[in-house]
Amino acid sequence: MTSTTSEISKGTALITGASAGIGAVYADRLARRGFDLILVARNGDRLRKLADELASTTGREITPVVADLTDAADLSRVEALLQDDAGITMLVNNAGVGSVASILEADVDAMQDMIALNVTALTRLTYAVAPAFVKRGGGTIVNIASVVGISVEMLNGVYGASKSYVLSFGHTLQRDLGDKGVRIQTVMPGATATEFWDVAGYAPQKESATTMSAPDLVDAALAGLDAGERVTIPGLQEDGPWMRWEADRRALAPLFAHAAPAGRYRVAA
């Protein structure tokens, strides 16, 4: 996996989807690494309980922010925090929702809500913090994607497409921000034992032998961040196939640049 070298700066990490699952583990791990936290989630009771526990066990300053990132006003509040709080040094875009339903089974309004959270909220929060990080001289953006961003046929099509977006977005963020002191990491979990599967409609996946625990996932992701990886795929045992896939993808780009259609598309006179 492509790597750069840099060190994590302490400060405040803002984590979305922080009340449970992967987000809650990130909160624990980052607090223990010396970060103060701003925890964002919809479930206020769980969020405040986690914030109190972490403040007690780690001694860090933990601020819960109850917000629904599919609500424009709530999303704007979080954007303003990222723009205005000079102490924020890391954004973890973890909030997301999934589905296993096909296009013939899924409700289109639910799919629109998925896009609003997985794509729109992630994009707006990144756009809010990126100029602030550049102005402050550095920062880290961690975007949680999924292996279904590549293996798009595995689950719901909108979910897979939303995670393909996160992966592609991360590549362009690296291009735009990598030389300006801003670190970008895209994390691509496989199946992870969280409430995601209850919401997505396939709870048994949590018990599968191929499903990773949330602590293992986050610990691996942070190890990848420490190593300077731009893309971290914790479940991929050998990184050679990914490196070749990425090299082939980049090598393909110049081959698109032709004014004339390929011979196979020429219509006989």
**For 143-196, how does the pLDDT look when each residue is reduced to its tens digit (9 = 90+)?**
999 999 998 888 889 999 999 999 999 999 999 999 999 999 999 998 887 766
pLDDT tens, position by position, 204-238: 765 667 789 999 999 999 999 999 999 999 999 99
pLDDT tens, position by position, 24-49: 999 999 999 999 999 999 999 999 99
Query: Which CATH number do you get for residue 83?
Result: 3.40.50.720
User: Which of 29, 14, 107 lies closest to 69 in space, CA to CA?
Assistant: 14
Q: Are 94 and 144 in contact (CB under 8 A)?
A: yes
Is residue 2 in some structural domain?
Answer: no
User: Which of 3-7, 26-30, 55-59, 259-263 has the weakest average pLDDT?
Assistant: 3-7
Is residue 97 in some structural domain?
Answer: yes
For residue 9, the model assigns a pLDDT of: 45
Find the mean pLDDT for residues 81-97: 96
Q: Which domain holds residue 192?
A: 12-265
Find the mean pLDDT for residues 196-202: 61
| Cα Rg, the chain, nearest whole Å | 19
Is residue 259 in some structural domain?
Answer: yes
159 an active-site residue? yes
Is residue 24 in some structural domain?
Answer: yes
Q: For residues 5 and 54, give the distance between their C-alpha atoms in angstroms, rounded to a whole number.
A: 30
Number of domains in the chain: 1
For residue 194, the model assigns a pLDDT of: 74
Q: For residues 115 and 91, give the distance between their C-alpha atoms in angstroms, rounded to a whole number.
A: 20
For residue 209, the model assigns a pLDDT of: 75
Q: Are 189 and 147 in contact (CB under 8 A)?
A: yes
pLDDT above 70: residue 3: no
Is residue 1 in some structural domain?
Answer: no
For residue 105, the 8-state DSSP code is T
Q: For residues 17 and 143, give the distance between their C-alpha atoms in angstroms, rounded to a whole number.
A: 12
User: Which of 67-76, 102-111, 189-198 has the weakest average pLDDT?
Assistant: 189-198
For residue 153, the model assigns a pLDDT of: 85
Is residue 193 in some structural domain?
Answer: yes
Is residue 191 in some structural domain?
Answer: yes
For residue 6, the model assigns a pLDDT of: 39
For residue 154, the model assigns a pLDDT of: 84
For residue 67, the model assigns a pLDDT of: 98
Confidence band, pLDDT 50/70/90 cuts, at residue 202: low
pLDDT above 60: residue 197: no
Is residue 5 in some structural domain?
Answer: no
Q: For residues 31 and 103, give the distance between their C-alpha atoms in angstroms, rounded to a whole number.
A: 40
| Residues paired with residue 38 on neighbouring β-strands, in sequence order | 14, 63
Choosing from 159, 165, 202, 265, which is the catalytic residue? Answer: 159
For residue 201, the model assigns a pLDDT of: 60
Mean pLDDT over each residue of the chain, to the nearest integer: 91
pLDDT above 70: residue 246: yes
Q: Model-level pTM?
A: 0.90
